[in-house]
Structure 1
Amino acid sequence: MDAVLAVDVSTSMNESDVNKVSFEAVKLFVDMASVQGDKIGVVAYTDRIMREKAMLLMKDASDKQSVKTFIDQLDRGPYTDLAVGVNEALKVLENGADPAHTPVVVLLTDGNNSLPAGRTQEQSDKELAGAVERAKTEGIPIYTIGLNADGQLNQSALERIAGETDAKSFVTSSADDLPAILSEIYARHLKLKVLPIQELNGSGAFQEVALDIPNASVKEANISIMSGSPVELKLSDPKGTEVPVPSDKILFSSSRAYSLLKILQPAQGTWKLQVKGAPKDKIKINLIYNYDLKLQMEPLPTQTWKVGDDVAVQAYLESGGRKAGDADLYKSLKATLIVKDLQTGRTEEKPLVSSAQGIAGSYKLPEAHEYELKVRAEDAGYIRETDPVKLSAAGAAGRAPSPQSGPEAAEPGLGAGAWAAIAAGVLAAAAAGLYGLALWHKANKGFVGQMVIEVRDEDTGERTTPQYRKLDAFKGKVTLHQLLQLAPEFAETKDMTFRPGPNDSLLLYNGSACVIEKGGRVLDAAGGKELRAGDRIRIMLSGVHRSVTLEYIK
């Protein structure tokens, strides 16, 4: 996750948020972020930028503390201009974002614009509309939080910002609700779920709460405790052993508005949390799991089908870059195939079957239209979706054989006749047999790693959201056209081929008219060029005015 938190620090917040709970809520968001890997920036705005903190990579607890210390030092100022806050948040994000991360902006304000002399509402609205359009184009959701303490909030403006960027708008009249709202934004953006565990009335004594860790793919368990007064905590693992708080695998942070317990790589089973709060203090306990899980769809054998064909769909959960082997992950999983008719805009959902082998089902193509398919899987703690795949039922041809299976996947010239000749050679001479076996191994050698793909429209400058393609689903070779989901507009890339190379590298062969650049120089790959992990190339298509950027990562 790459997140920028844009916080209204106008002087009106002194009345709507007397205790600076908004600052505490923002710090809770920081604490819930993963211990390592997320990047977070902060923008404090009025009608100008009061202070800002550039995107900081979270490597350990000290990095989170650096962001929280910065938040504590923010001052108030006169006036408010939403356009200033949104524009600057996008700039901070764009300057420090990691293309492999999911971007998000969280915007918090307590009212309408209050502009200084010389600045008109029309100017602000125009700049805000431009910023929102930029965020929409770049796939950056902007979640908005309106603190409506005095009834002066421009709720429609905040709803429009969130709605146009595929986010959500929140409104509350009490600053005390802000920690819960920030928790929901965190969970929603990462397709997680906030699980309300229990609501207690403090008694001055310890009260026990059960925390269930459902499987081994939970990377972090975030237990947020919101209360009016500080609480004391004790924690026991599933074996009943009390675990020190804090310790190496148990992180603890607290403030005036919340306490957060983060369990790293928690053991599966039921943990026991004991909470002691002040008498009559209301204590709300929520749980958010951070999962190391992705949902991947198996590549379809072709993009062109006939009306009435059954499209077999298979998907699987992936953990740590590999297919998840934990059968428990699929036990309570609700899987759905979402089919969108790209001509009518109609969306249909069909249930899929989950088993220890993964997710499977099929869809019968009803009309000669273009379709988009994706799989959604939902469990108690998370929601995951695959990247969408497009296909056409308008072609005369039916299903084609899988491009990465059978003798056709072998080296050029090694067709069915060649395979027969090799088989005969095996019977005739051991030397010929060994040679044929070597060629077979080469043709079926597996890939490692994945390819990050981004397409740019050279006329408008618009870029697609980076897409990740796992290479281990292919054997022997894969074309760029396959990685681009066989989209017709990229048909020329079928002559651009990748093969497994030595030491987990890739060998790129370019038989197309496309121009390849690496490091600003033209790369001649007609005879093959090696790509290593971290290498990035740009491919200029000749048939359409677009370019494709590829990065090979492990």
Structure 2
Amino acid sequence: MKVHKYAAFFLLCLLLLNSLILTDSAAANISTDAQKMDAVLVVDVSNSMKDSDKNKISNEAMKMFIDMLSKNGDKVGMVAYTDQIIREKALMKIGSDADKNDFKKYIDTLSLGAYTDIAVGVSEAVKILDAGKETDHTPLIILLTDGNNYLNPNSDRTEELSGKELDEAIRKSKSEGYPIYTIGLNADGTLNKMILEKLSGETGGKFFTTTTADDLPRILSEIFANHLKLKVIPITNLTGNGQFQDVNIEIPNNSVMEANISITSGNPIEAKLFSPDGKEVEIPSIDVYYSKSKAYSLIKLIKPESGNWKVQIKGVQKDKIDINMVFNYDLGLRLEEPATSNYKKGDMIEILSFLESNGQKVNSPELYQSMNAKLIVSDTASNTISELSLTNDGKSFHGEFTIPEDKKYELKVVAEDNSFYRETDPIIIDASVMAAAASAAPEKVENKKDFPWLLYVMIGIGLIFLAALAFYILSFIKKANKGFIDQIVVEIRDEDTGEKTTPQYRKLNTFKGKIKLHQLLQLAPELIETESVILVPGKNDTLTLFNKGEVIIEKAGRAVDASKGITIKKNDRLKAKLNKVNKSISLDYLI
């Protein structure tokens, strides 16, 4: 009886494992909705930008990009470069308006330098993504420059070395899935488009060029939308007349998570907002985010109700005002797995795809009303692609695909209307397996009734036991030799002048047992009191910080008692305020 109980338990484990595998397989065919991003802004701050962008519109465009990011976990970093890194900021998670405002203030602190080396900026952006990207976020790099390389003639840097470093950054970006969007500000006509086109073309990004910085807000909006598979919807162009002018904003359905209404103009504008019932909505308010500068205004509506909203805009007399909108939908697109996995030439596969929200099928005919969908079929051997239009029945997209040859095919569905675009993850249909199996003689199986199931069950149980034992032994060994992982980003601020050092990445994996903060600060004599701050490895890739002295440790802006140890998790930021010198040290733990 005991043997049968163990056998039943083993079979139950197999069934549970199988169900998990099937669940993961099905989930792989859903396009994620409300995808979060990890973005690194790379900006050329060479002296030539003074002439190309006299009014610092590039700064305003980057600020607008920050304002468009979601406060629910999008991350953003920055690299400002000449022929060296002037300033950089590790990926920071956006969780509040204060986070956005801090980053925008940081943009205004960027200074200019004499020379230019694009490879330096791009390579550093790749390192920032390597250090701080998250697996469920989509990474991207945005590069803004106004010209060619201009290397310091007194340095050892050559165009050959710069080119090799840039090629390595491209290779790494391509392999890691970091698309690079390049913007060439070609104010004087000397822009080297070839390099920028190579960067974007080989990494899956997109190249933009303009002769005026005034186009930069529009370009940054398009990059934001393109990366999240959204669409920029032109609303209208106005000429300011000194009076409020009405602009209608149509929210098509209740699946809109955010509506970003961007208003670019030569001078600041005033704005009023009215909901579909005609009532004025306060700007800003709980569900309305508003930011403005000398070049743009952004109104972000959070989960707006569907219907006809109205914005009233008051601009300066004869000022050109451009208004665009980007919707971020709480929608995904699912492609149903085919009923079987064994196919051959001539077999017909039923295609069924539909919209989802939070894992549930969306039954809203108004959503489907203006949408078109098609099946994209890729022959993996020849890399040829064909398309098949699908039927929209108001609740799903469906059609039929007949396998033309005994080959392997990749299938995915794309659906779009005038405001957004979604695609499913691909599924593989392999008709070559059946063809190969048909050419082989089937193996005859005899004595089915005498198949030793019990023996195999007991062998399986034994293997599981051995695997568990091996896991326990390895865990014990790992614990006994526990060391640090990943890195901490250190930035020192002089509280008297407000000046900050360039963020420094300190690798931790060379240390074991414990490390003093003073070691991470390269034992600088004036920072000797950080000897009392000690880091030790914790559980689940955490750190534990102990403060045995008079240094003040702050977390989330509040002083904390670390005398008995506090836990530091991934992406936590702490500040150590010193007493003997008026300086503070920011610590970002990156995994």
Same fold (TM over 0.5): yes
Change (3 A) 1:347 1:516: farther
Q: Deviations over 1:380-432 (max 9, x none)?
A: 1111111111112224379xxxxxxxxxxxxxxxxxxxxxxxxxxxxxxxxxx
Q: What code does the residue aligned with 2:62 have? A: V
- Matching of residues 157-168 of structure 1 within 5 Å: 157-168=195-206
1:520 CA drift (Å):
7.0
Does 1:304 find its partner at 2:338? no
1:303 CA drift (Å):
3.3
Q: Deviations over 1:483-507 (max 9, x none)?
A: xxxxxxxxxxxxx9xxxxxxxxxxx
Which structure ranks higher in relative contact order (CA pairs < 8 Å, sequence separation ≥ 6)? 2
Does 1:26 find its partner at 2:77? no
Does 1:97 find its partner at 2:133? yes
What is the distance in 1 between the residues matched to 2:332 and 2:159?
44
Aligned to 1:281: 319
Change (3 A) 1:79 1:363: same
Q: What code does the residue aligned with 2:392 have? A: S
Aligned to 2:292: 254
What is the distance in 1 between the residues matched to 2:350 and 2:466?
31
1:64 CA drift (Å):
0.8
Q: 2:102 aligns with which of 60, 66, 69?
A: 66
Q: SS of 2:42's equivalent?
A: strand
Change (3 A) 1:364 1:257: same
1:313 CA drift (Å):
1.4
Change (3 A) 1:358 1:84: same
1:330 CA drift (Å):
1.4
Q: What code does the residue aligned with 1:43 have? A: V
Aligned to 1:455: none
Tell whether the 8 Å contact from 1:304 to 1:394 is kept in structure 2 after alignment: no
Q: Deviations over 1:48-84 (max 9, x none)?
A: 1111111111111111111111101111111111111
- Matching of residues 380-459 of structure 1 within 5 Å: 380-396=418-434
What is the distance in 2 between the residues matched to 1:519 and 1:219?
48
- Matching of residues 129-528 of structure 1 within 5 Å: 129-396=167-434, 521=475
Of residues 292-301 and 370-379 in structure 1, the stretch that sits farther from structure 2 once superposed is: 292-301
Tell whether the 8 Å contact from 2:364 to 2:395 is kept in structure 1 after alignment: no
1:17 CA drift (Å):
0.8
Gaps (5+ residues) in structure 1? Answer: 399-495, 497-508, 523-534, 537-554
Aligned to 1:6: 42
Q: Deviations over 1:496-521 (max 9, x none)?
A: 9xxxxxxxxxxxx9799999979974
Q: What code does the residue aligned with 1:77 have? A: G
What is the distance in 1 between the residues matched to 2:157 and 2:238?
50
Tell whether the 8 Å contact from 2:66 to 2:100 is kept in structure 1 after alignment: yes
Aligned to 2:118: 82
1:93 CA drift (Å):
1.2
Q: What code does the residue aligned with 1:308 have? A: G
Tell whether the 8 Å contact from 1:221 to 1:290 is kept in structure 2 after alignment: yes
Change (3 A) 1:234 1:368: same
Change (3 A) 1:521 1:322: farther
Tell whether the 8 Å contact from 1:303 to 1:390 is kept in structure 2 after alignment: no
Q: What code does the residue aligned with 1:122 have? A: E
What is the distance in 1 between the residues matched to 2:259 and 2:88?
30
Q: Deviations over 1:335-378 (max 9, x none)?
A: 11000111222111111122343221111111111111000011
Change (3 A) 1:518 1:388: farther
Task: State TM-score, norm by structure 1.
Answer: 0.72
Change (3 A) 1:262 1:130: same
Gaps (5+ residues) in structure 2? Answer: 1-36, 437-459, 477-539, 542-591
Task: State TM-score, norm by structure 2.
Answer: 0.68
What is the distance in 1 between the residues matched to 2:464 and 2:255?
40
Q: Deviations over 1:450-503 (max 9, x none)?
A: xxxxxxxxxxxxxxxxxxxxxxxxxxxxxxxxxxxxxxxxxxxxxx9xxxxxxx
Tell whether the 8 Å contact from 2:406 to 2:435 is kept in structure 1 after alignment: no
Aligned residues: 418
What is the distance in 1 between the residues matched to 2:404 and 2:474?
47
Of residues 356-365 and 89-98 in structure 1, the stretch that sits farther from structure 2 once superposed is: 356-365
Change (3 A) 1:96 1:396: closer
Q: What code does the residue aligned with 1:205 have? A: Q
Tell whether the 8 Å contact from 1:304 to 1:397 is kept in structure 2 after alignment: no
Tell whether the 8 Å contact from 2:410 to 2:429 is kept in structure 1 after alignment: yes
Change (3 A) 1:114 1:251: same
1:300 CA drift (Å):
2.2
* Coordinate RMSD, CA, aligned: 2.7
What is the distance in 1 between the residues matched to 2:263 and 2:211?
21
Q: Deviations over 1:4-33 (max 9, x none)?
A: 001111111111111111111111111111
Tell whether the 8 Å contact from 2:58 to 2:213 is kept in structure 1 after alignment: yes
Aligned to 1:504: none
Change (3 A) 1:334 1:514: farther
1:224 CA drift (Å):
0.4
What is the distance in 2 between the residues matched to 1:365 and 1:19?
59
Tell whether the 8 Å contact from 1:208 to 1:274 is kept in structure 2 after alignment: yes
Does 1:45 find its partner at 2:107? no
Q: SS of 2:66's equivalent?
A: helix
Q: Deviations over 1:231-274 (max 9, x none)?
A: 11111111111101111111110111110000110000110111
